[in-house]
Chain A
Amino acid sequence: MAKVTIDGIEIEVPDGTSILQAARMIGPTVAPPAMCFYTNLPSSGGYCRTCMVEVTKGSEKDPRPMPKLVASCRTQVMDGMVVGNRTSEKAVDARKGVVEFLLLNHPLDCPICDQAGECHLQDLSYENGSAKTRTDFERRTFDKIDIGDKIQLHMNRCILCYRCVKVADQLTPERVHGVMNRGDHSEISTYITKAVDNEFSGNMIDVCPVGALTDKTFRFKSRVWFTKPVTAHRDCDKCCGKVVLWYKGEDVLRVTGRKDQWGEVEEFICNTCRFDKKRTSDWVVEGPTNLSRHSVISANHYEKLVVPNELTLNDIKPLNP
């Protein structure tokens, strides 16, 4: 067991736990945001740099601070470690920078994006970003490619978290898509135009933190906050069959895996459950889903919304011509 102090709160965790997981055990006020780390996908994480924290004391044995900020999702705790997340000016500043970098070429087409309302990049930028942009350069765009009849790829929105690549690596026997090219021309693509049609490929939609991979059967059907999530299950011979049905009126508009409070799917589901079973009679309904983190969707409990500290009316100024 190792004792760590994160933002002044002490917790004892098993050896080998990452700083991020230790922080999540304390609670959401302490946990750093994570855009690329995914608990159920081993070897994910380390790319987006939003979860960076400052280690002010390495361990009981070696109390030297770490020279650089570390990615908390890929750094293991040591006994006696002292970590600064929201209390560390360096970490907050660096995170603000990372948000700016991620938004630099993001199209900000939230009004027409199916992910809006459950988008991690929206949450991240509200919580950690700046209200103003400092760039007036043209944003990067990619040519549209078709990766199949079920999944829609919007490369312009992608933040290259590599989660979908890990899904294809770890859930499906053969990966047909990956990251092509280098630097800021990197794109998620199938090398030879080929449909991504594996039975578990739909999980790419669930793990995508932004609107880069969305459900074609749900495309432009509704804003997510107008749909009502209902927990349900069915006997499926391929997967666990535990899902969330998203209702609008009587209709099931889409089916997704069940997500925990960090927005991560608990158990992956198959494409049959996701795309083909869209009648209430296919499912055993358990009851309304409790959503805590993404309060926009959470049964319209708008009074619980936390107003971001930084953004006040005075802050909104017209852009420089």
Chain B
Amino acid sequence: MGKKLLLQNDNVPGIDTYEVYRQHGGYTSVEKALKMTSDEVVEEVKKSGLRGRGGAGFPTGMKWSFLAKPEGVPRYLVCNADESEPGTFKDRYLMQRHPHLLIEGMIAASYALGANTAYIYIRGEYFYIVNILEKAIEEAYTAGWLGDNIQGSGYSLNMYVHPGAGAYICGEETALLESLEGKRGNPRIKPPFPAVKGLYACPTVVNNVETIAAVVPILNMGGEEYAKIGIGKSTGTKLISASGHIKKPGVYEIELGLPVEEFIYSEEYCGGILNDKKLKAVVPGGSSVPILPAELSLKTPTGEPRLMSYESLSEGGFVSGSMLGSGGFIVMDETTSIVRNLHTFNRFYHHESCGQCSPCREGTGWMEKITHKILDGHGTLADIDLLWDIQRKIEGNTICPLGDAAAWPVAAAIRHFREEFEEYVSNPSSIVDVKHYYNIHNLVEA
């Protein structure tokens, strides 16, 4: 059994209520933090080596220490709960079952940053979680963990939940801040970065739900102790949302450094491929990260076993590696059509592009049309090269990372599965039909 830090009380009934949570050691990290100075808390997080769990993997302690601290200007902590990456559902699980863990982490983090107002920006589709969180916040206010003069320490904090309207782009931190301010959710042009000018032009830190929740075990066990878990610079535990053709899909907490092979095939985690078919490909970190074919997902290009860690998964760059991303682990068996899968991703990014800058606005739609054309049996070999060229011209040329996120899956699919594209183009009768897919899996078409 791997070590569990976030989900250790997962089986305790009623853990979403304040009384049960408190009995199981809840809010001790806040008690601890309030006895320290805010800089000491930041130092503790720095020591832990915690990296952002939202996808980019930026060291959290570093991010916190970049926060500008001008006199007389309020600072804000914003929790990014706009979890919209296809294949990722870990934050939903955490917020739904452990709302107090997030709130506790928010209080400790706000104290470390000197913020007196904290927001949880949650995606609109999670409307039922808004109620759960608001009830938990209410309980925390009643118990004196929020509001004025928390536990007699002289520190005050107010916390609000803000539901978005359901846009993937609002998970990008500056678009999130725009949306939180009540404007159209368009990403801002950086610089200035949110650490200098964020929410209402004040210094702001935006952290993922899981990142903030991880502050709780860090303060409880100490940063140095936390850093011992995991491997190398990937410290601690990570929630992985496993989905696709596996026997036991769900949210798993793993110690970073777990071999991918063990994660897919062991009984403790995914339990192997559905119907004992062969593994074809893995998307290890949510739809935006490059797809890996079976052999590259289990072994690095140098022949070492691939581990679930920031470094190991990105070994080999994008030529033969991928990213840990947000931990949306999608497994595909041998019957999966990579082209069809890519078309689904393209359709998603086309739908979710905000339309602000030209390469992403026009390019995502173009890529969708081309994959659609190939699936319709009208593709040509030139279309594959065109697809490659379009993604190359989107990547890195946009305001926000959505352009990159749309380009990477295309690049990886063509890089690793070009023969499948060529087969579709030269022999349209080989195109996997959706009905065929339902037949081989004995599923009923919806």
Contact = CB atoms under 8 A, between A and B. Distances in A.
Nearest to A134: B386
Given A47-B399, A135-B366, A159-B358, A100 B393 contact: yes
Contacts of A135: 366
A48 B364 contact: no
A69 B396 contact: yes
Contact of A102 (B358, B386, B394, B396): B358
A74 B363 CA distance: 22
A160 interface: yes
Nearest to A75: B191
B245 interface: no
A102 B167 contact: no
Interface in B333-370: 350-359, 361-366, 369
25 contacts: A46-B189, A47-B357, A47-B358, A49-B397, A49-B398, A68-B396, A71-B189, A97-B392, A97-B397, A98-B359, A101-B358, A101-B362, A101-B363, A101-B366, A102-B362, A135-B366, A140-B365, A182-B353, A182-B355, A183-B353, A183-B365, A184-B355, A184-B362, A184-B365, A186-B355
A158 to B, nearest CB: 11
A131 B261 CA distance: 50
Interface of A: 45-50, 52, 68-69, 71, 74, 93-94, 97-98, 100-102, 104-105, 134-135, 137, 140, 159-160, 162, 178-179, 181-186
B361 A49 contact: no
Nearest to A76: B191
Contacts of A74: 189
A69 B355 contact: no
Nearest to A46: B189
A185 B393 contact: no
B24 interface: no
Nearest to B350: A183
Given A93-B393, A98-B359, A186-B361, 6 more contacts: A46-B357, A68-B397, A104-B362, A179-B355, A183-B351, A183-B353
B436 interface: no
Given A182-B353, A183-B351, A184-B350, A105 B398 contact: no
Contacts of A179: 184, 355
A98 B184 contact: no
A160 B116 CA distance: 39
Contacts of A68: 396-397
Contacts of B358: 47-50, 98, 101-102, 159-160
In this complex, the member of A102, A159, A184 whose beta carbon has the largest number of chain B beta carbons within 10 angstroms is A184
Contacts of B353: 182-184
B397 A105 contact: no
3 closest cross-chain pairs (CB), A and B: A97-B393, A186-B355, A101-B362
B354 A182 contact: yes
Nearest to B399: A46
Contacts of B366: 101, 104, 135, 137
A105 B358 CA distance: 11
A160 B362 CA distance: 11
Contacts of B394: 97
B423 to A, nearest CB: 22
Contacts of B365: 140, 183-184
B359 to A, nearest CB: 5
Interface size class of B (residues with CB under 8 A): 20 to 34
A100 B362 CA distance: 9
A185 B369 CA distance: 15
B386 A94 contact: no
A140 B390 CA distance: 18
Contacts of A137: 366, 369
A101 B184 contact: no
B359 A97 contact: yes
Contact of A94 (B167, B189, B390, B393): B393
Contacts of B355: 160, 179, 181-186
A272 B20 CA distance: 72
A160 B386 CA distance: 24
A183 B393 contact: no
Contacts of B393: 93-94, 97-98, 100-101
A105 B189 contact: no
Given A49-B358, A71-B189, A182 B363 contact: no
Contacts of B359: 49, 97-98, 101
Contacts of A178: 184
B362 A94 contact: no
A197 to B, nearest CB: 24
A105 B396 contact: no
Contacts of B392: 97
Contacts of A98: 358-359, 393, 397
B374 to A, nearest CB: 13
Contacts of B354: 182-183
A179 B361 CA distance: 14
Contact of B397 (A69, A134, A183, A185): A69
A102 B366 CA distance: 12
B356 A47 contact: yes
B441 to A, nearest CB: 32
A1 B361 CA distance: 38
A115 B396 CA distance: 32
Interface in B167-188: 167, 169, 184
Contacts of B363: 101
A274 B396 CA distance: 42
A25 to B, nearest CB: 22
A101 B184 CA distance: 23
B175 to A, nearest CB: 11
Contacts of B169: 182
Nearest to B380: A320
Contact of A184 (B361, B390, B397, B398): B361
A294 to B, nearest CB: 22
Contacts of A102: 358, 362
Contacts of B369: 137
A259 to B, nearest CB: 23
Contacts of B390: 97
B44 to A, nearest CB: 30
A260 B85 CA distance: 46
Contacts of A182: 167, 169, 352-355
Contacts of B167: 182
Contacts of B398: 49
Contacts of A47: 356-358, 399
Contacts of A184: 350, 353, 355, 361-362, 364-365
